[in-house]
Chains A and B, each alone.
Chain A
Amino acid sequence: MPGERSTDGGHSLAGVEHVPGVAKPDPVLVVEKMRRAFGGLVAVDVDHLEVQRGVITALIGPNGAGKTTFFNLLTGFDRPDTGSVVFNGRDVERLKSHGRAREGMVRTFQLTKALTKLSVLENMKLGAGGQTGEHFLQSLFPFLWKSQEDAIEERARELLRRFRLDHMADEFSGTLSGGQRKLLEMARALMASPAVVMLDEPVAGVNPALTQSLLEHVRRLPGEGVTVIFVEHDMDVVWDISDWVVVMAEGAVIAEGYPESIGKNQAVIDAYLGSDHDGDELDEGSAR
């Protein structure tokens, strides 16, 4: 059964039909007719998808379903062949990846990108947006940005404490373990004060105790006004924290719904287990 819900509790999704592409009451992201093919392989072919603001949406699907490619398309790291993304009511087609991040769409990567030769603290400070000292001329005059820098540092240290990385603050991030890098990347994304944070397998390789603390953290994000979309293979995690689940298979969205009901969806069972399977494994939350 699902655990404690985010503050919104997914209540805003009450009454929303459990069909792929269904309209949501307050969508922060609207995807329309998005298609991306690599040669003959159609990696993403999403007809319509809306993501509700202020809730935690899980994006699941078998390996190679197109989840990461879909993230890339949403965040501008890849260009779709056709289709549009409307973010916060604005068509972001013309915005490049960094522009979309500035608009508040911040992502992490499935293969972590710790900036190894920067300290953990520097990694965090990099995340903050709107820094005066990041402009060439201003950067030469520390008095213009010192106070902002101090405020950013304080926020960074606070987040590091919450992610239990504070003891590593001054180490090169290249010295972190794989799991710690996942934590750092997520904390760094939060430094950017995103409106939507998109996490690609945030707890893959993180030990169970740390996973719990990470999930607690994710659960609090909607209360802070952050919409969360995350890709995850571990169904326990999906059950635990998501308010809504979107299932992809072979590039398309094949199902949407509450986490507790999604496992009973025949299309989902077929996608995970092959169409001739009766598929009660998924009910036990063991589909990996």
Chain B
Amino acid sequence: MTFAAIDWGFIVIQTVETSLGLEAAVYALAAVGLNIHFGYAGLLNFGQVGFVAMGAYGMGLSVTLWNLNPWLAVLVGMGFATLFALILGVPTLRLRGDYLAIVTIAAAEIIRLLARSTTLGDITRGAEGLHAFIGPFRELNPFDPGSEYGIGPFMVGGNQFFAIMLGWGVTAMALLVVWQLMRSPWGRVVKAIREDEDAARALGKNAYWYKLQALILGGVIGGMAGMVQAVGKATIQPDSFVPAYTFFFWTVLILGGVGRIWSPVIGSIIFWAMLTFFQGTLIAMVNEGLIPTGLMDPTQVNQIRFMLVGVGLALLMVFRPQGIFGSREEMMLDAR
């Protein structure tokens, strides 16, 4: 009944593996999109998971329904995300910021409910979801599915390794695009609109159009996250797009620091490291009898680890409200 009896090596390996794994990449990517929305353009999007779903379904249906090749399928996925952005943005972006927020949270849930509805059952296959799309993507995999890849204790199968590489590769590309955009005059206009739309308008900038562009861009990047997840998990299921995920993406973004290039990546790594570490530690402590089962049994660990992440986030807000990468100086400007 001691801490020493816990297999810390195992927990640490798990933690590192998860924080650099497929989910971490997917969350980072979705948060990169959210960062464009909120961090740079000031758009409140509470339905990022809807974009993720649109990307995934657009890509999946292209293969299962229309027999498109994988590259075209990815384009269709991006098209679906763009369409979703237009549906959300066109009616709301002329109005005050709150309207977008309200519409996004509802629309994302509508996407999920539609996908699992019996009406669209022939197309989206309801709660069971899409599976058959994976074949053509597997053919693109340069790694041997039968072998293990990685370094040292961190080894995964070929298919998984492909998905992880894909995820971080796409994330790197997205970061490059965001970095270039945000140091360009385009980024300057977008940031100006975040600060004060009317000031930008008075200088001849079409605020509505820039906000729409930002919504589309961040949404398409969210869609890419959905596609990476679909390839990695070889399945697209409606219930992997519940509203809670949007708030995990927000957690990731806020952990890293809003409006910074690297914050979604670092935020995601930390988010998954915390989740995995808490999970491993709590389970080990319950098993070792360090936590009485009356207080917590192993099935409850899953929920409690999220509470601990919440506590972590709350502490961050108290001691470093700008996030890990954010600048305190910049944040204090709001108070003036």
Contacts and interface: CB of A to CB of B under 8 A. Distances in A.
Contact of A172 (B188, B202, B207, B329): B329
Contacts of A286: none
Interface residues of B, number: 31
A101 B199 CA distance: 11
A101 B185 contact: no
Contacts of A191: 203
Given A101-B204, A118-B192, A140 B198 contact: no
A101 B333 CA distance: 28
A139 B185 contact: yes
A129 B188 CA distance: 13
B119 to A, nearest CB: 37
B195 A117 contact: yes
Contacts of B204: 98-99, 101-102, 106, 129, 192
Nearest to B213: A136
A140 B181 contact: yes
A106 B204 CA distance: 8
A162 to B, nearest CB: 19
B177 interface: yes
B188 A108 contact: no
Given A131-B185, A140-B184, A189 B196 contact: no
B196 A115 contact: yes
Chain A interface bracket (under 10, 10 to 19, 20 to 34, 35 or more)? 35 or more
Interface in A109-125: 109, 113, 115-118, 122-123, 125
B333 A126 contact: no
Nearest to A133: B185
A9 B333 CA distance: 43
A156 to B, nearest CB: 12
Contact of A136 (B186, B200, B203): B186
Interface string A146-174: 00010000000000000000000000101
A122 B336 CA distance: 19
A127 B333 contact: no
A126 B203 contact: yes
B334 interface: yes
B180 interface: yes
Interface in B316-336: 329-330, 333-334, 336
Given A136-B213, A140-B180, A175-B333, A98 B187 contact: no
Given A136-B213, A172-B329, A188-B203, A118 B188 contact: yes
B206 interface: yes
Nearest to A172: B333
| B184, B188, B195, B213 — most chain A CB neighbours (10 Å) | B184
A135 interface: yes
Given A75-B202, A126-B203, A134-B189, A113 B196 contact: yes
Interface string A195-235: 00000000000000000000000000000000000000000
B199 A109 contact: yes
A3 interface: no
A134 B180 CA distance: 12
A107 interface: yes
Interface in B166-211: 177, 180-181, 184-189, 191-192, 194-196, 198-207
Nearest to A102: B204
Interface string B117-143: 000000000000000000000000000
19 contacts: A98-B200, A98-B201, A106-B204, A109-B198, A109-B199, A113-B198, A115-B191, A115-B195, A118-B192, A118-B195, A122-B188, A125-B185, A126-B188, A136-B213, A139-B184, A140-B184, A172-B333, A189-B202, A192-B203
Interface of B: 177, 180-181, 184-189, 191-192, 194-196, 198-207, 213, 217, 329-330, 333-334, 336
Shortest 4 CB-CB distances between A and B: which pairs? A174-B333, A133-B185, A139-B186, A139-B184
Interface of A: 75, 77, 96-99, 101-102, 106-109, 113, 115-118, 122-123, 125-127, 129, 131-136, 139-140, 142, 145, 149, 172, 174-175, 188-189, 191-192
